Structure 1
Amino acid sequence: MKDITDRLADGEYTSIEAARQLALAQSMEKELKRQIGALKDFLTDKMDSKEHLTTELGTVAAKHGSEPRWRVKDPVAFAQWLGTHGEESSVEQVPYPVEWATKPDAIEHLIGQHGGEQPAGVELSRGTGDTVAISKVKEWSQIFNDQQAQAQARQLLGITGGGMAAVKDDTDDEEENPWDRI
């Protein structure tokens, strides 16, 4: 299969053909992102922590997420807040908070000591949800040389009926492999 950059460099596409391919690829990308999200959510729910599933196309591994944690976004503002709230021992003379005062647990403790007030210069990170990681994935070109992988890709993309011979180039009567149009 000839790479798209080579096909473009060789002048094999007109602007309208390139635009058509770009729109098709963008549509496929949107659908694939939706499906990737659904598949990741499904596997995240089904897999145990640190579990690996190896297939002929790649390996999927479960990954633990993290809880939201406090982090210092603006050390100077945080140091000033510490100083005005009677926590001078937590501030260096720069003024800059001492390292231990910037740790998530220390910030959590300080917030509790000061009635839940969020210190200036500190924010709560979003944390991450559990997810899966994909590795050892076959190269795109290898998928085209694997009939089973092609069938799975067609199924994933919702390409049904007629098979490979059903798609023809608008400008040529010769049959074309639909994967070449991607």
Structure 2
Amino acid sequence: MVEYYSICLEEDGDVSLFEKFITKHSKHNYEKFNHIMSWIKWIGNRYAAKLEYFRNEAETADASALPPVNPNWQPTFVEWDDESQSGETNNLRLYTFRVNEHVVFLFNGDIKTAATAQDCDNVRPHFRLANKLTELLEKSFGHGIKLNDELTDIIVDDDFELNW
């Protein structure tokens, strides 16, 4: 079983980064969004959050992304171009912080239109924010955030604030 978390930024009130992702992409990129949601469910209920199910978008990045790299893993996604009769894999990215096989933070993302996240105007801000939040969360473990004894859930101190 995997426990999923997200983060609410102060300027967004009670709306988490993942909720913003859902609001945008469940309407505008439904099939790609549904593919990522299927992976979240499969990872959560069947596989556990193993490292190989998360996409590394840069060697120096702390955050990772969904969907996984291998397009042949279930659940699959192929978008067909009727003119060329060729298939494309899902280019919608959801940035994440995989704490361990049982705890994952879900952030935000967008359609990736360049070879790297750093070169894509759509995903670059989400990628950078996910890396910054991942860095801050990693530093916060043991200082306001901790894992329970089974390492399957997080415990947050009542007065904890994640500060830049």
TM-score (norm 1): 0.24
TM-score by length of 2: 0.25
More helix by share: 1
Find the structure with the greater CA-based Rg.
1
